[in-house]
Amino acid sequence: MKLLRTFFSLSLAIVVFASCSKDDSTPEEADNTPKPGTSRMITNEVEYHSGLIEGTTSWATWPIAKFPVDPYAVSYSVKLVITGATYTWEADGVTGGFDLIFPNTNSIVDGNYYISLDRTWCAGCTEVDPSWMANYMNFFGTNNNVEITFFY
């Protein structure tokens, strides 16, 4: 009898705990969808991408803004802080930037935008020259940032 009473007490405690631990938030509180007409800005450091120019035999190095595609954004803006150069585009349009790094995918690879801020390239080279990136780093400095704005 004591064993049965203990079993029922434990069962009741589990039911009470489970009912108290449920998510009591309203759908409005749980919805992380940005409101239309709003925006958010992030700041990233300039990164570098080197490789073949897609569809050619030419090699290049690009200073880039790399950031994730936002499924809710209707447009984007990327500003190179040191120069003030700004590139904007609609989410369903052709990507902004100095040129398209990956034209076949609108500069989107693995869920990230690769936005070109400039380009050094060589048609007669067989590989990337490391001095290209060194020259950018010398020009931009070591603390160069991009401001990325997502418009909703």
- Taking only the tens place, the pLDDT of each residue in 47-67 is 999 988 888 888 899 999 999
Q: Which residue has the higher pLDDT, 100 or 29?
A: 100
| Residue range 86-109: mean pLDDT, rounded | 91
Average pLDDT over residues 70-80: 97
Distance of CA 4 to the CA centre of its chain: 57
Q: Which residue has the higher pLDDT, 117 or 7?
A: 117
Q: pLDDT for 23-46, tens place per residue? A: 555 555 567 889 999 999 999 999
The pTM assigned to this predicted structure is 0.73
- Whether the predicted pLDDT of 88 surpasses 70: yes
Q: Are 119 and 62 in contact (CB under 8 A)?
A: yes
Mean pLDDT of the chain: 82
**Residue from 59, 56, 82, 57 nearest 145 by CA:** 82
